[in-house]
Structure 1
Amino acid sequence: MNKQQILNECIVIFDKYLQVSLKESMKLTLQDLFSKAEVAGSNQEEQELFNLYRQLKIGAKDFSIQLREKIKAMPEFISAEVNKSDSKMSLSLVEDEELSISLALTQLDSTLEVMSHAELYTLEKRMNVLFGNEKIDKTNMPFSPASIVWLFSHAFKSIGFDVKVKTLIIDFIIKEFGKNINDAYHDINEVFIAAGILPNIQPEVIKPRNKKSEAVDHDNQVEQSESDDEQQNDGSDSGQRNGNTGSQSNRNHHQQSGSHANAGQNTPQESYGIEDNSGYQQRQYDPESKRLVESIFNLLSPSHGSAVGHQQGGGQSGGGQSGGGQSGGGSFNNTPSGAPVQNIPDNDFDQALAQIAKESGIVATSKNIHNLKEMLADQVRNNTGNFYPELSPKQNKTLDLMGLVYDEIENDETIDTHIRSSFNAINVPLLRTAINDESFFIDSGHPARKFMELLVESSQKWHGTNVIKQIHQYSDTAAKSFDGTTSSFVKALDELSDYLKVTNTRAERAEQKWVSAAQGKEKMDVTKAEVESHLNEILEGCDIKFVKDIIHHVWRDSLTLTLLREGKDSEQWAKKIQSAKTIAQIGNKNQFMNLTGPEKLSAMHHLDQTMDELGFSKRDRISTKDNIHTCLGWQEIGEDEAKKEAPKLKKVLSIDEAVKSEKIETANKKIEEIRELNDEENAMKERVVNLPYGTMFDFIINQQNDVLRRKLSWVSTMSESVLFVDLVGRHPHKMKLQRLAIDLCRKNIIRVELPEGGYFKNALNKIIGRLKSMAA
């Protein structure tokens, strides 16, 4: 079976599934339009909806044919583009697509990709074999969600559907084809299997480069960890015996779980991949995080003995302190003096924590950690019959550290407070992961840690928007499906990333619309300024106010449009400049005498024609023409007679309103926009000009210091204007550069400084600073 034969069979299958979904989607679109027309609020709205209904009814068959033709041509187009290009080609929307259509197609791409991930992966590998190169992936291969977007985008351009009809079809395609897309890909994969192309694909697993050295290093870590624990135990005989017992039980656990969190100085600095039982390939160890966690664990320990050494066996610590909960590093203990204690195994700890989560919610800040330890001890006591359970040093320190991390999140003003519900949902899974999988602290690619980081990053980037509330569903799903492995975090991380990717794409497209509008307006303003300079020269010596107003409010707009469309060297520009000069000379008694009759008539005719093009009413045009004739007569009489009586001019409503609005705009200028800046404000202005687009600012909007977070989208040094949009790309806010510099210096607007290098690592650094200041 050759390549073309395989593709032809795949096209038949793909076309069958897509055409069935398209037919159903157009049927549902017709029903939707008809039902909306029946309950329309006005006759005009009803008429518009029925027009859309008839438009789709008539064009449905043609659209189906157009889509089928695109499907047939798609494999050859992709093959040709990939083979002739050195860089990877990616299917995309057509360039002049409507924004709403682009957003709908983006949603189509991301939704279908999530629904068909597994089948799509195997199909991608087989396509690479078929096309004979490695440039084919899900972004450019035939039959992928990206190619479906490409099909609809180009098919829509060849059919005269309204934007509303197109978006409705896409919405229903997402639902209808989403039901069958996996079946379609499965049948297409069957064609490849029948042809003997990659019938069985196994994912690759990255293994450590040297297993022997890894095993030796691992043993060194365990021995060093046990040695550290023993050195920190209480100095009394009974304390040492209990500490050794706990150390022996912990040794067995360490050997089973591959612990690395309490590793000593012998831990190798070289990074290598690790894998947990969920099959998730984690990225690498982070030596910096490892060092920070070790420093925090040391600071959490009392000055003499281990975190629990002074409590085991009822003996007193080297510092002379008796048992009890200790803020910032001590462990919980209700053990009576002389009673035998026993460390809680991690599996019992995990079981107790899971049971507590089912019965009541847990807030994992440091002020609630002590209560959680009490609840854990009680639950273990009920489960195991161990009347004096004791948290191990690792469990104590891990809980304390997680509580401190949650403190940083709760007290960070750059984080939207609505994200707390998402963190509260995953408190228990995070605690269980931190206890059972110590690579959580030292692996920057750990899925639970990455999900935690993504929540924080999202709460900063989407501060104050409804996106934060939508995020909660992913945390809730991760918590409910948590089974002790990282698989629930892997799934939640992928789904949340996909959602944020789509949301970000929408925001960027919406933002670009406002940036383009602002740039277009600036171009218009610059052109108007250039025209204004020409008009000032033309009006020099003009004495009649009405003539000046005509030049300003008719010829200025006409010349601006001509300069934008035709350019300065065009015939239209020269003709209009000449007409403007002629009309301006009518307002000057000396220059008026030099005008010929044909010049006056030509200028008058051109003025009337221009006012008609600009949309002036017939009444205003007649009034303007009469006023010009009055001015002509006024200029023709002698100077002595002219002084006796001024000419009576008719009102031209459009010109009068334009003059009034110009006066109001001038009077309403704010002091910040017209006064000179001081040295500090000038320096701030220079910094703003050099800030990257996307920088976020908090605008204080009332006396209660409520803030609205906006994103810097565009800065123009030409017009000295700054454009902001909200975080989802809507509600543009434009202000002058001078005013922004003043408000920044006054702290009415505050730049949002987002931490670099990952929130978790920055939080660890802050925690070290807090603990050191407390110790001092």
Structure 2
Amino acid sequence: MSVEKQRVINASANLLKSYLQKMLVIHLEKSEQQLFDAIDSKKMDAATGDIKVLQKASLYIPSLYIDSVIKNLSSFSASSNPTVGEAFASSVETEDWSGLQLLGTDEIEGQLLIDGYIANCESELADVLYALARRIEFVSGTDELKASKNPFGPAILLKTYVELLKGESFSKQAHNILCESFSQEVLTNLGDVLGEINEVFVQAGILPTLPKPKIKNTNAAVKRAAQSFANEKVAHTNHEQAPVTEQPITTAKVSMAEIDPALYTGLVEMAQVYRSQQGDSMVSDGLTVSGQQLPTTELVDTLTHLQKEGAVEGIDIAESVRLKIGERIQVDGQRQPYAEQDDTLIDVVAMFFDVILQDRQLPDTVRAMIAQLQIPILKVAMIDKEFFAKKSHPARKFLNAMSQAGLGVSEKNRQIRSAVFEKMEELVERVLMEFGNDVEIFAELNEEFDVFMEQQQRQIDVIEERSRKVTKSTEQLELTKRQAAYEIALRLNGKSVPEFIQLFLDDAWKDVLVLALLRREREPQETQKCIEVIDRLVVSVVEPADDAARELIIEGLARLLKDIKVGLENISYDFHQSVPFFKELESWHKQLLVMRVGEQDNIPVAEKVVMVEVNEDLCDNLEEDLLQELESKKAQMPNDKFSKLASKIDVGDWVEYTGEDGGVLRAKLSWKSSVTMQCLFVNDCGVKAMDISLDDLAEAFRQKRMTIIGQERAPLVDRVLAGMKSLMTSKSAEPGLA
């Protein structure tokens, strides 16, 4: 390697070292805090011991880790090692499963989690990792550098760290916390330093042919985010600097347009239905109505004052808005009459919000939050005739967005102050404080909320996908074990074999086959080799048909025994446990294969060898077997509406249930297995809430421990208007109501 290339490698190593030194400190501090939190929440029994181990290990793990990473990078300077990082990478890969004593579920799940962290990071950093890999190939003379062997890549960085953790006595939970934290703190922020390292290569003139990067059009999003930030700062500044005072609100620009007659007819009928339900005294507010008609501009002005007072003092959503207005404008128990249109809109909007408060899809806390907007929405209806007629009206879109974002909020979520709920509260407060007579404020807040929710949804999607992967990995492992057991049963079916052979295949070789099946995409030939060992082993313990068959078996014994030992080594099977099996096998082979056909009667039968007849009731394939099992489980479920409800629940449907502490929670169905009837539910942050079988879900519905909420298939305002129509005496759809 030339001096210039070595200089580039050294400079890159220094950049990576500096980054790792900084991020490891952050990672270890946050991991320690997570362990302390686990103690407080009583989620980990061994957390105290793990904290002590971590505090001690934090003194030397960073330096050991960085030394290991830099040592791997130093292989660039060895011209005799053209396959860069191969020795280290392969050693890590071969150790992935070394601790899996007979493939324990916890260890495999841990490995699948690590693979998931790596895959997510490689996906996020695909462009810069690709560029670096091509330049590393150019520097080192390597033909093709795999992602798993890239010394700057997440696979090497995370697996090096995992190897160091194996030398410490952490509990399984602490190990998982450390790996997840490393992924979040070290790998997630890796992009910037990799960009700097790539630039070092570029400046050194190491420019192999690379594909054109895709240019992402992010200008619009950046502008929206910047504008939202500016609006937010202005709002907070105004709120802090200008206390609410009882000053007249300018209404000169308010345009009170007439409502379309067809639409207005429907609104009048709604108002009449509402009044008939509430009683005649409600219309007069209990006051004497006399004098000249109150101008709409003055009514809107009064509403604005009430709105701002409510923002400061709090809003009692149970108190009638009509009564609030009457109390505000009355003089000695008398008030002026309202314009007919205003009078109608007051009651229609009151009815509108009464229906919202009865909307079962919305959590109580979100219904109460949206109900605070009754006065602003009443003002919108008076100022802008399009509110009831146009689905794209900004105020309607704002209500719909709040409803959709709040669908998964529960009382517990509200108490822990989720980012989405806090943003919703902030936007409602801004409407109450800032909305005068310009309905465009709803369009501005909609745009800001859209940008915010896009960012939040990306985070939620990542967390939810991680939750799904963990659950799917668990099912994949169980199905793989079923497949391994099926393959063994298929080869023993209808045969008479020594009992120790059946026990060996079921207790030991099944795990060898499971490992091969898990790796079949990467090493497809290994699965076939494991299955062939079963076939050859079974043939070797069944009496041969003739002397030629005997000779053929004897010739293959050495290779068979070697293949069995290699397979057991792959799962770190205890050598001492395998000794009795090999002794029994040797004894059986001597009895069965040494003598010619017809001469076995002259030698004693091997001691303690029990023959077993294997007659499994197997389907033609595993998929059919699993399908029959699934149908059998469904048939055993009670044939009632609760079982049907559980069977029909769709991905995306929300349920409401009572938590262990008695609090009401909500969770969304994120994944539903078509094989095992398992259902994964996540909370509004994408975190796993529960993993439950279909029959247990039906039982929870049956016992009323859980109710199904469903999905928000129609926007909030559309649902509310439909609910208002259903309350009308006339069941016919009214024209003009959108």
Same fold (TM over 0.5): yes
1:514 Cα offset (Å) = 4.5
Residues 391-434 of structure 1, C-alpha deviation per residue, up to 9 Å, x if partnerless? Answer: 44333333332222222222323212222453255444333333
Residues 119-150 of structure 1, C-alpha deviation per residue, up to 9 Å, x if partnerless? Answer: xxxxxxxxxxxxxxxxxxxxxxxxxxxxxx99
Mapped pair 1:708 → 2:666: yes
Larger radius of gyration: 1
3-state SS in 2 of match to 1:326 = helix
3-state SS in 2 of match to 1:439 = coil
Structure 2: distance between partners of 1:697 and 1:332: 40
Runs of at least 5 residues in structure 1 that lack an aligned partner in the other structure: 1-22, 60-95, 106-148, 174-183, 190-252, 266-286, 308-323, 649-668
Residues 682-714 of structure 1, C-alpha deviation per residue, up to 9 Å, x if partnerless? Answer: 9938963xx654233445667979453222434
Q: In 2 relative to 1, CA 51–392 (structure 1 residues): closer, same or farther, beyond 3 Å?
A: farther
Residues 35-89 of structure 1, C-alpha deviation per residue, up to 9 Å, x if partnerless? Answer: 7668974243454545788899999xxxxxxxxxxxxxxxxxxxxxxxxxxxxxx
Mapped pair 1:326 → 2:281: yes
1:610 Cα offset (Å) = 0.8
Mapped pair 1:619 → 2:619: no
Structure 1: distance between partners of 2:358 and 2:67: 58
Q: In 2 relative to 1, CA 38–709 (structure 1 residues): closer, same or farther, beyond 3 Å?
A: closer
Give the letter for the 1:260 counterpart. Answer: E
Out of 258, 261, 280, which is 1:260 matched to?
A: 258
Mapped pair 1:44 → 2:57: yes
Q: In 2 relative to 1, CA 24–542 (structure 1 residues): closer, same or farther, beyond 3 Å?
A: closer
Q: In 2 relative to 1, CA 102–254 (structure 1 residues): closer, same or farther, beyond 3 Å?
A: farther
Q: In 2 relative to 1, CA 702–591 (structure 1 residues): closer, same or farther, beyond 3 Å?
A: farther
Per the alignment, residue 299 of structure 2 pairs with 349
Give the letter for the 1:345 counterpart. Answer: P
Structure 2: distance between partners of 1:620 and 1:24: 49
Out of 385, 393, 396, which is 2:340 matched to?
A: 393
Residues 697-738 of structure 1, C-alpha deviation per residue, up to 9 Å, x if partnerless? Answer: 44566797945322243442x455544433433217444455
1:155 Cα offset (Å) = 6.7
Mapped pair 1:555 → 2:509: yes
Does the 8 A contact of 1:527 with 1:564 survive in 2?
Answer: yes
For residues 417-432 of structure 1, what are the structure 2 equivalents within 5 Å?
Answer: 417-420=364-367, 422-423=369-370, 426-432=373-379
Structure 1: distance between partners of 2:510 and 2:437: 72
Give the letter for the 1:694 counterpart. Answer: G
3-state SS in 1 of match to 2:258 = coil
1:579 Cα offset (Å) = 2.8
Structure 1: distance between partners of 2:314 and 2:345: 16
Does the 8 A contact of 1:366 with 1:406 survive in 2?
Answer: no
Per the alignment, residue 694 of structure 1 pairs with 652
3-state SS in 1 of match to 2:297 = helix
Per the alignment, residue 455 of structure 2 pairs with 502
Q: In 2 relative to 1, CA 257–555 (structure 1 residues): closer, same or farther, beyond 3 Å?
A: same
Instruction: Answer 1 or 2: higher relative contact order, Cα 8 Å, separation at least 6.
Output: 2
Per the alignment, residue 636 of structure 2 pairs with 676
Structure 2: distance between partners of 1:541 and 1:713: 41
Per the alignment, residue 500 of structure 2 pairs with 546
Per the alignment, residue 426 of structure 2 pairs with 473
1:612 Cα offset (Å) = 0.4
Does the 8 A contact of 1:404 with 1:767 survive in 2?
Answer: yes
1:586 Cα offset (Å) = 6.4
Structure 1: distance between partners of 2:524 and 2:190: 46
Does the 8 A contact of 2:630 with 2:677 survive in 1?
Answer: no
Structure 2: distance between partners of 1:30 and 1:632: 60
TM-score normalized with structure 2 length: 0.56
Does the 8 A contact of 2:468 with 2:670 survive in 1?
Answer: no
Q: In 2 relative to 1, CA 729–300 (structure 1 residues): closer, same or farther, beyond 3 Å?
A: closer
1:452 Cα offset (Å) = 1.3
1:451 Cα offset (Å) = 0.9
1:551 Cα offset (Å) = 0.7
Does the 8 A contact of 1:332 with 1:390 survive in 2?
Answer: no
Structure 1: distance between partners of 2:57 and 2:485: 43
For residues 710-729 of structure 1, what are the structure 2 equivalents within 5 Å?
Answer: 710-716=668-674, 718-729=675-686
Count of aligned positions: 522
Give the letter for the 2:305 counterpart. Answer: Q
Structure 1: distance between partners of 2:696 and 2:461: 26
Q: Which moved more, 1:634-643 or 1:366-375?
A: 634-643
Could you tell me the percent identity over the aligned residues?
Answer: 12
Structure 1: distance between partners of 2:561 and 2:68: 47
Structure 1: distance between partners of 2:378 and 2:352: 11
Q: Which moved more, 1:593-602 or 1:476-485?
A: 593-602
Q: In 2 relative to 1, CA 578–166 (structure 1 residues): closer, same or farther, beyond 3 Å?
A: closer
Structure 1: distance between partners of 2:15 and 2:571: 48
Structure 2: distance between partners of 1:516 and 1:264: 56
Structure 2: distance between partners of 1:570 and 1:256: 73
Q: In 2 relative to 1, CA 532–52 (structure 1 residues): closer, same or farther, beyond 3 Å?
A: closer
Give the letter for the 1:503 counterpart. Answer: Q
1:532 Cα offset (Å) = 3.2
Mapped pair 1:441 → 2:404: no
Give the letter for the 1:762 counterpart. Answer: R
Does the 8 A contact of 1:462 with 1:728 survive in 2?
Answer: no
For residues 565-584 of structure 1, what are the structure 2 equivalents within 5 Å?
Answer: 565=519, 575-584=529-538
Give the letter for the 1:371 counterpart. Answer: L
Structure 2: distance between partners of 1:474 and 1:604: 72
Does the 8 A contact of 1:402 with 1:431 survive in 2?
Answer: yes
Give the letter for the 1:440 counterpart. Answer: F
Structure 1: distance between partners of 2:27 and 2:484: 49
Residues 459-505 of structure 1, C-alpha deviation per residue, up to 9 Å, x if partnerless? Answer: 22555643334422222233333233123322221121222222223
Per the alignment, residue 405 of structure 1 pairs with 352
Per the alignment, residue 450 of structure 1 pairs with 397
Per the alignment, residue 167 of structure 1 pairs with 188
Q: In 2 relative to 1, CA 397–749 (structure 1 residues): closer, same or farther, beyond 3 Å?
A: same
Does the 8 A contact of 1:29 with 1:168 survive in 2?
Answer: no
Structure 2: distance between partners of 1:454 and 1:418: 16
Q: In 2 relative to 1, CA 415–38 (structure 1 residues): closer, same or farther, beyond 3 Å?
A: closer
Give the letter for the 2:430 counterpart. Answer: T
1:377 Cα offset (Å) = 1.9
Out of 761, 764, 772, which is 2:718 matched to?
A: 761
Structure 1: distance between partners of 2:266 and 2:129: 51
Give the letter for the 2:504 counterpart. Answer: I
Structure 2: distance between partners of 1:171 and 1:402: 52
Structure 1: distance between partners of 2:457 and 2:498: 57
Structure 2: distance between partners of 1:721 and 1:488: 46
Structure 1: distance between partners of 2:275 and 2:722: 17
Residues 647-673 of structure 1, C-alpha deviation per residue, up to 9 Å, x if partnerless? Answer: 79xxxxxxxxxxxxxxxxxxxx99994
1:606 Cα offset (Å) = 1.9
3-state SS in 1 of match to 2:636 = coil
Runs of at least 5 residues in structure 2 that lack an aligned partner in the other structure: 1-13, 33-53, 73-115, 135-151, 158-182, 195-217, 224-250, 595-599, 611-628, 732-738
1:554 Cα offset (Å) = 2.7
Per the alignment, residue 270 of structure 2 pairs with 296
1:571 Cα offset (Å) = 6.4
Give the letter for the 1:550 counterpart. Answer: F
